[in-house]
Amino acid sequence: MIRVRKAGLSDTIQDSGRIGYQQFGVIQSGTMDSNSSRIANLLVGNEEGEAVLEMALIGPILLFEERMLIALCGGEFAPEIDGVSVPMWKPIVVKENSVLKMGTATRGCRLVMAVGGGFDLPQVLGSHSTYLKAGFGGFNGRSLLKGDLLSVNKPNETSKIIDKQALDCKTTPFSTTRWSVAKQLRPFVGKSYIIRVLPGRQKNLFTHQTQKDFLSSVFTLGSESDRMGYRLHGPKLQLSEPKELLSEAVTFGTVQVPSNGQPIVLMADHQTTGGYPKIAQVISADLSMLAQVKPGDSIRFEEVSLHTAQQLLMQIERTIRELRKGIELQQYNGGIQ
């Protein structure tokens, strides 16, 4: 069991998402930074889409009432266990009755924690993901609160093997493996980001100057942003002439422009349809990086071809596949020295 000693700003259970229900108005939800979530699960021996604890900006304080295998991936939060700095991007065996303090994001916005075996929670419409506005999924359909108890499933055989590879250190409240995820496999986190996009369906409805401004200007992420959408502040984007549009399907990464001319990038908890003109679509390969942008950080957009977008996504999939194979090899070799 994991007991919440102190809740963070927004701590929710998320997995790979609720698939197949958008036609009924039910959003997909799921982790914002799917790459970090997938990697964290691999590090503890889970399936890639297993539920994780997703935290934003200010993390919680958690008491581990039993020994547990975990992995922390994503933004830089300076986590500590009983006052000792905890490495990220590698398996960690937390000792019984140890306290994990996540800290505050210094770079990036989101941190995910996977546990060996996964969280023992009921699925709603085939997913563990929390849908906050509707109040279902995850842990009672809400963010974690002080005093909450999270149950964890029994670890599988892969988790047990990884656990045994951890070097038992008597001087710290946790142990870890010699190996970790290589730096080049970790998502970029910083203060300014270049986010690649494809042209939106209504790009040509905007003035030529607006189309140039969108790709040449710096936008700042506003504090009113959340899991539903990122509100950006920058040059006013204008249509060539007023136009009424029918609502149509939108997705994670769709860049809409409402009447005030300030773009909104739809995120994991986006609505199923939208009627604002769409100037761009963030490529799938950059969604995890986009998830790490925090209020005050800057964004520039770069347009790429569909072929480039596909190649970049394939590269990420190859990288994660190679990581999976590497972890499997370590199970047989007893860990990398």
Same domain, 183 and 234: no
Q: How far apart are CA 192 and CA 281, in angstroms?
A: 19
Residues 98 and 44 in one domain: yes
Same domain? 156 vs 44: yes
The predicted model gives 58-80 an average pLDDT of 96
- Mean pLDDT of all residues belonging to the chain: 93
> Does residue 333 surpass a pLDDT of 70?
no
Q: Give the number of domains in the chain.
A: 2
Residue 270 lies in a domain: yes
Per-residue pLDDT band for 329 (boundaries 50, 70, 90) equals confident
Segment 309-315 mean pLDDT: 96
Whether residues 183 and 260 share a domain: the answer is no
Percent of the chain with pLDDT over 70: 97
Do residues 240 and 148 both lie within one domain?
no
- Report yes or no on 289 lying in a domain: yes
Residue 167, pLDDT score: 75
Q: Identify the DSSP state of 119.
A: B
Both tokens of residue 123? 């699925």
Same domain, residue pair 162 and 207: no
Write out pLDDT tens, residues 71-86: 999 999 999 999 999 9
| β-pair partners for 226 | none
What are 263-307's pLDDT values in tens digits? 999 999 999 999 899 999 999 999 999 999 999 999 999 999 999
Give the pLDDT confidence of 113-142 residue by residue, as tens digits. 999 999 999 999 999 999 999 999 999 999
Q: What is the CATH number of the domain that holds 262?
A: 2.40.100.10
| 160-174 tens-digit pLDDT | 888 888 877 667 889
Does residue 254 belong to any structural domain of this protein?
A: yes
**Nearest CA among 95, 156, 98 for reference residue 331:** 156
The stretch 86-96 carries a mean pLDDT of: 94
Verify that 25 and 75 share a domain, yes or no.
yes
- Same structural domain, 282 and 224: yes
| Domain presence at residue 328 | no
Q: Does a structural domain hold residue 315?
A: no
CB 175 within 8 A of CB 169: yes
Query: What six digits make up the tokens of 38?
Result: 């997938």
Residue 245, domain extent? 192-304
